[in-house]
Amino acid sequence: MSRLNVTHDPALRSWVESANAAGTDFPLQNLPFAAFRRARSAESFRGGVAIGDSVLDLGALHALGLFDGLAGEALALCAEPVLNEFMGAGPEASGALRGALSAALRSGSPLAARLRPLLIPQSAAEYRVAARVGDFTDFYASIHHATAVGRLFRPDSPLLPNYKWVPIAYHGRASSVRVSGESFARPHGQVMPAGGTRPELTATRRLDYELEVGVFVGRPNRLGSRVPLMEAEDHVFGLCLLNDWSARDVQAWEYQPLGPFLAKNFATTVSPWVVTLEALAPFRVPWVRPADEPPPLAYLDDPAQRREGALDIQLEVWLDTARMRAQRLAPQCLSHSSLRDSWWTVAQMLTHHTVNGCNLEPGDLIGSGTQSGPAASAAGSLLELTAGGRQPLALSDGETRTFLEDGDRVTLRGWCERAPYVRIGFGEAAATVLPALPS
């Protein structure tokens, strides 16, 4: 488990004044990583760290040769176009670099004058996915989401018998993972019309979002080896926001007997910033199961998980339509939930992923599955919020939605907040739905 250290001190302030502003996602206590370059440039991508409203250019910092030891070695890996090697170096390396950056960006740092020219406004930067994603696995770890969706299709038995025992997941499509800000076209797929007997190939009419947390794998494990639960977090680099877009009508027709396919592999949006597990240490909470629920099998249970295995990450979905933007109306918040309500923890998902000997590689992406809470307002998808499309959602400008329409932009936001520690955030994961391509 990540432990508290000087980088979490709520009294710390930065010489980057915007990092000290109330409510910023990126105070000195956060320091998340991304792969970036100046917008509209031909520069190579390289690592950056968020501080206030700026990006500290880690490639340029490496060229100055100011850090030595393990921090310097980790910084060299951040000069690469993607952060896979940095992620794979393990928490010791990322922790050393995080500590050195914290000291260098702190008020009174003797390095301030040399680092100030390396700051680039975030508004002047463009991003790519932080790592080259070799594999993407999406879990189904919210029992509230699984129950709500199950009730729509199986009112008498919403949860299948294995749900409370097995961390359910499916193998997603790594090649369609895109960074926040990239739009995508409404997908086509086979759909069975209501009351029909013959499917048709058509653009989805039931396009949905899924409010998720993404997990980037750090240290790898060998093929044929397992990662014990007590070691699982040594294999996690950090977390991001993730939206696994879904075509619900395509999904309903194709998902039996083998699960999601074309309904989910056309687009997945992630936030550019990856918050390290170390930065999240102040926001750990107990992982609990109701007393009348079965305990996990032994390989998925230990005292450390029960004591502080869950993370209290606040999650929100915001929607603005093309009409709302034309009228300059503010986006509307559709739901608010927390990762602390997840049935499985990050460590449990990773351990289960490897229990059969599956090898995970640095930069592999794990999705938490839609994170819904116990309240109706905490539903992480339109499928839940509109009861499968039967109860349209009223928007602030007079429009209604059952599922997404062309021009709709969905933005995920996330943050952690707990006194006396400083609030830290994840930035945004946003994308806009474009019209379907011609058949």
Could you read off the pLDDT of 267-279 as tens digits, one per residue?
A: 999 999 999 999 9
Examine the domain organization and report whether 180 and 146 are in the same domain: yes
Catalytically active residues, by annotation: 145
CATH of the domain at 263: 3.90.850.10
pLDDT of residue 258 exceeding 90, the answer is no
Q: Is 293 exposed, middle or buried (0-12, 13-18, 19+ CB in 10 A)?
A: exposed
Give the pLDDT score at 256. 84
In a domain, 225, yes or no: yes
pLDDT at 1 exceeding the cut of 80: no
Q: Is the pLDDT of residue 27 over 90?
A: yes
Same domain, 54 and 104: yes
pLDDT bracket for residue 153 (50, 70, 90): confident
144 and 120 in one domain? no
1 occurs within a structural domain = no
Pairing outcome for strands 268-270 and 177-179:
parallel
Same domain, 123 and 142: no
- Is residue 265 one of the residues assigned to a domain? yes
CATH number of the domain residue 103 falls in: 2.30.30.230
Which tokens in the block code for residue 383? 């499928």
In a shared domain, residues 257 and 347: yes
List the single range of 92-96, 194-198, 305-309, 390-394 with lowest mean pLDDT: 194-198
DSSP summary character for residue 52: T
| Structural domain ending residue among the three candidates 96, 128, 160 | 128
Task: Report the Cα–Cα distance between both ends of the chain, in Å, rounded.
Answer: 51
Any domain includes 100: yes
With 80 as the cut, is the pLDDT of residue 18 above it?
A: yes
Please tell me whether residues 212 and 353 are part of one structural domain: yes
Q: Is residue 278 part of a domain?
A: yes
Beta bridge partners of 179: 270
Integer Cα distance of 258 and 170 in angstroms: 9
Q: Is 399 in the same domain as 422?
A: yes
**Around 14, how many Cα atoms within 13 Å sit in the side-chain half-sphere?**
29
Considering the domain architecture, whether residues 267 and 390 belong to the same structural domain is answered as yes
CB atoms within 10 A of CB 114: 13
* Stretch among 23-32, 148-157, 361-370 having the lowest mean pLDDT: 148-157
Q: Using 50, 70 and 90 to split pLDDT, how confident is the model at 348?
A: very high
| Structural domain boundaries enclosing 82 | 6-128
Contacts of 427 (CB under 8 A, 6+ apart): 25, 26, 32, 50, 180, 241, 271, 272, 273, 413
pLDDT in tens, 161-207: 999 999 999 999 999 999 999 999 999 999 999 899 999 999 999 99
229 with 366, same domain: the answer is: yes
Q: What is the pLDDT of residue 247?
A: 98
Q: What pLDDT does residue 380 have? A: 98
* Residue pLDDT, tens place only, 103-117: 999 999 999 999 999
Q: CA-to-CA distance for 56 and 196, rounded, in angstroms? A: 57
Whether residue 264 is found in the same domain as residue 396: yes
Q: What is the mean pLDDT of residues 378-386?
A: 97
Q: From residue 367, how far is each of 4, 171, 177, 249 by CA, in Å?
A: 26, 10, 11, 22
**Largest distance between two CA atoms of the chain:** 73
Residue 2: band (very low, low, confident or very high) from pLDDT cuts 50, 70, 90: low
**Average confidence score pLDDT of the chain:** 97
Domain boundary among 128, 158, 185: 128
- Which pLDDT does position 157 carry in this prediction? 82
Residues 50 and 193 in one domain: no
Domain boundary (93, 128, 163) is at: 128
What average pLDDT does this structure show over 67-82? 98
pLDDT tops 90 at residue 259: no
Q: What is the pLDDT of residue 3?
A: 87
Q: Specify if 439 maps to a domain.
A: no
**CA 187 to CA 173: how far, in whole Å?**
15
Tell me: pLDDT of 439 over 80.
no
The DSSP annotation for 335-358 comes to EEEEGGG-SS-HHHHHHHHHTT-P
Q: Burial letters for 421-438: b for 16+ Cβ neighbours within 10 Å, e otherwise?
A: bbbbbbbbbbbbbeeeee
- Over range 85-109, report the average pLDDT: 98
Instruction: State both tokens at 242.
Output: 């993730």
Is residue 286 domain-resident? yes
Q: How far is 384 from 154, CA to CA, in rounded Å?
A: 14
Looking at the DSSP assignment, which residues form a beta bridge with residue 409? 320, 432
Give the count of domains, the chain: 2
The answer to whether residues 214 and 92 belong to one domain is no
